[in-house]
Structure 1
Amino acid sequence: MPPLILASTSPRRRRLLLEHGYNFRVMPAEVTEIAPAHLSPGEITLFNARIKSHAIARHQPRSLVLGVDTVVAFEGEVLGKPANMEAAFAMVRRLNGRTHDVYSGVWLRHAKSGRERGFIDITRVHFRQLTDAQLHAYLARIGPLDKAGAYAAQDDRGELIDSLEGSFSNVIGLPMEALAGALREFSSLE
């Protein structure tokens, strides 16, 4: 397989790739993510993953570039990263005791061969019902400002997430099970 590049600054994605034994370099894509109202949450993540992948692949044509975007969607609205702690509290309070979906768009591009592949992974997440004080304590512990939906599955310890349907790693930010299958499609490239 060609050298793998992760077009992301996310420490959670880096950790997931390392935990699964992948060798890769990190080259953050300097792009502006978009969320047009006419696109579904899955389409938004796939579009953003694609532009990240393409931004790096044009300068690294011999490498396989991995672009990823993850959003939380609730009642038809995309919940991105909160701007401040008040916004973070509003997000988790809105999700409190309810069910929402996490979408990740993944795009792999190998510019030299012209091959690319994208996919969307969706996980349904069920939250426990917590008091406002418990929600504030949770947010203070996890530092939510760089996390879609203002929560951290990898640091949850069972306090907020009651159960989920789908990939747990997708909720963290990279659906590792689906990624493994997609990467196999590029194993014959050099």
Structure 2
Amino acid sequence: MRRIILASASPRRKELLKQLIGDNFVVCPSSYEEPPQPGMNPEELLLKHSVEKARDVAKHFDSGIVISADTSVLYNGEILGKPHLPEKAKEMLEKLSGKKIQVITGLTVLDLDSAQEISESESTNVWMANISKEQISAYVRTGEPLDKAGAFAAQGKGAVLVEKVEGDFFNVVGLPLFRLGKILERLGVSVFEEGFS
């Protein structure tokens, strides 16, 4: 069985990968800093970040498959980061109330044994519900939105703010499992293999 390395410190990505292949992977967060890249569109930027994260982690291993991802929420073509402060989270959620947004992930899978590197992006449309100021304040008080891109967690309490999802739901959480499974297949790794449970 091949060694799988997740190049991310995200507990959400760890949970999603575990859902796919069990505990059969190691976590090695990247130290790549994600500098701004003027002139790149959001999709190109996310792909670049995911590639650089994978390559950064690959330096520490001589064999195996490195998986990295970079996810952002887009509204009107603008990338929305993590708000970190309650005021910023409220502002962001007020802006997104009743709107359609996009969640895009740049995904890179790097096979160290065959020197193959596959990078693809996944996009999911999300329709946010009309959220009252009271709901926004109550949600922000939970602390959940502060470290989430777009100030909501679709897999947490934020589920009640999401009216409809078109595309891969897991992409909204941070790791597009369908696309990842397809890429692993192309590299000769099936998630149904014995040992991946």
- Tell me the residue number matched to 1:11: 11
- Tell me the residue number matched to 1:169: 170
Task: After TM superposition, give the deviation of residue 167 of structure 1 in Å.
Answer: 0.6
- Tell me the residue number matched to 1:27: 28
User: Secondary structure, in 3 states, of the residue corresponding to 1:154?
Assistant: coil
Task: After TM superposition, give the deviation of residue 142 of structure 1 in Å.
Answer: 5.0
CA distance in 1, matches of 2:61, 2:20: 23
User: Secondary structure, in 3 states, of the residue corresponding to 2:165?
Assistant: strand
Q: 1:140-155 maps to which residues of 2 (within 5 A)? A: 140-141=141-142, 143-155=144-156
After TM superposition, the structure 1 stretch with the greater mean CA deviation from structure 2, 108-117 or 177-186, is 108-117
Instruction: State the one-letter code of the partner of 1:18.
Output: K
Does the 8 Å CA contact 1:142/1:152 hold for their aligned counterparts?
Answer: no
Question: How has the CA–CA distance of structure 1 residues 162 and 31 changed in structure 2, closer, same or farther, with 3 Å as cutoff?
Answer: same
Task: After TM superposition, give the deviation of residue 36 of structure 1 in Å.
Answer: 2.6
Task: After TM superposition, give the deviation of residue 144 of structure 1 in Å.
Answer: 1.7
After TM superposition, the structure 1 stretch with the greater mean CA deviation from structure 2, 145-154 or 135-144, is 135-144
- Tell me the residue number matched to 2:195: none
CA distance in 2, matches of 1:118, 1:144: 28
User: Secondary structure, in 3 states, of the residue corresponding to 2:60?
Assistant: coil
Asked if 1:102 corresponds to 2:103, the answer is: yes
Does the 8 Å CA contact 2:152/2:158 hold for their aligned counterparts?
Answer: no
Task: After TM superposition, give the deviation of residue 21 of structure 1 in Å.
Answer: 2.8
Question: How has the CA–CA distance of structure 1 residues 80 and 154 changed in structure 2, closer, same or farther, with 3 Å as cutoff?
Answer: same
Encode CA deviations 1:13-50: one digit per residue, 9 max, x unaligned.
Answer: 00011122342110000111134342121111111111
Percentage of identical aligned residues: 36
CA distance in 2, matches of 1:19, 1:168: 14
Does the 8 Å CA contact 1:109/1:117 hold for their aligned counterparts?
Answer: yes
Instruction: State the one-letter code of the partner of 1:182.
Output: I
User: Secondary structure, in 3 states, of the residue corresponding to 1:29?
Assistant: coil
- Tell me the residue number matched to 1:136: 137
Which ranges of structure 1 fall in alignment gaps of 5 or more residues? none
Name segments (4+ residues, structure 1) moved above 3 Å: none
Q: Give the root-mean-square deviation of aligned CA atoms.
A: 1.5
Q: TM-score, normalised by structure 2?
A: 0.90
User: Secondary structure, in 3 states, of the residue corresponding to 2:170?
Assistant: helix
Instruction: State the one-letter code of the partner of 1:145.
Output: L
User: Secondary structure, in 3 states, of the residue corresponding to 2:34?
Assistant: coil
Q: TM-score, normalised by structure 1?
A: 0.93
Number of residues paired by the alignment?
Answer: 188
